Amino acid sequence: MGAVLTVFEGEALLITGTVLFILGGWAVSLCLHEFGHAIVAYRGGDYSVRSKGYLTLDIRNYTDPVLSIVLPLVLLAFGGIPLPGGAVWINHHSLRSKGVESMVSLAGPASNLALGALLAGSVAVFNPSVGLASALSYLAYLQIIAFVLNILPIPGLDGWGVWEPFMPPAAQQFGAKVRPWAPLVLFASLFAFPMVAVVFFDIAEVVFGLLGGHMSFAAFGQSNFMFWR
């Protein structure tokens, strides 16, 4: 009986540690994502981001109670979809060029890609325990999913913002009209149409593998994070 309790306690500790690590790590990555937008905007001419506190890495400056906390955590916990919920308000009229405006949008997803590569690399280099390796790998995999998701050229996502400055006015107006609900259609499609989800996650796994990530560790970390499934 004592051995059974010891095993149960060990599993509970592993699950608790994984959940806290993933949630804390995701909060940090949210700050880095938004900081990426802000620092490029600052260097590109929008100095207002400094007075707004976007260069401080303080999560309170990037959050909205519903869009930044509730909705992202629900999607992450139940769907495994990491939605960057932070937001920085950029004065696009202050930016020096269309190229800078495009780089501002690209900076966020790029930070997720870089962090994912760093986390995956840390597992390969330091060879941590299975529990820590699985948590690190799943957090790295979430960064790659966030990168693939955000880089899609869909209004409301950063991928659209990368190309929008170079689009004709009619396309920009169309994007402005559908921006509030276009991402919701994408998320609904991922849940409603299995084939869409399969293609999306297959792409994320390929990118994750190219960065040296191990899906076996990531899958174990995901099972610990979503322990109720």
> Which residue is catalytic, options 34, 101, 164, 205?
34
Torsion of CA 213, 219, 223, 224, to 10 degrees: -30
pLDDT of amino acid 152:
95
H/E stretch holding 100: helix 98-126
Residue 85 main-chain phi, psi, to 5 deg? -95, -5
pLDDT of amino acid 66:
60
**Residue 48 burial (C-beta neighbours within 10 Å; 0-12, 13-18, 19+):** middle
Location of structure tokens 């930016």: 95
pLDDT digits (tens, 9 = 90+) for 16-75: 999 999 988 988 888 899 999 999 999 999 999 999 999 998 888 887 656 666 667 677
Sign of the CA dihedral running 117, 20, 157, 79? positive
pLDDT digits (tens, 9 = 90+) for 165-186: 999 999 999 999 999 889 888 8
Torsion of CA 33, 219, 130, 23, to 10 degrees: 40
Distance CA 210, CA 205 (A): 9
**Comparing C-alpha atoms, which of 104, 102, 110, 120 is closest to residue 54?**
104
Indicate whether 86 pLDDT > 80.
Answer: no
Distance CA 53, CA 113 (A): 24
Total residues belonging to the chain: 229
pTM over 0.95: no
Q: What's the Rg (C-alpha) of the chain?
A: 19
Check if 101 is active-site: no
Residue 227 banded pLDDT, cuts 50, 70, 90: confident
Six-digit token pair at 27? 């909060």
Q: Provide the 10 A C-beta neighbour count for residue 111.
A: 24
User: If DSSP codes are grouped into helix, strand and coil, which group holds residue 62?
Assistant: coil
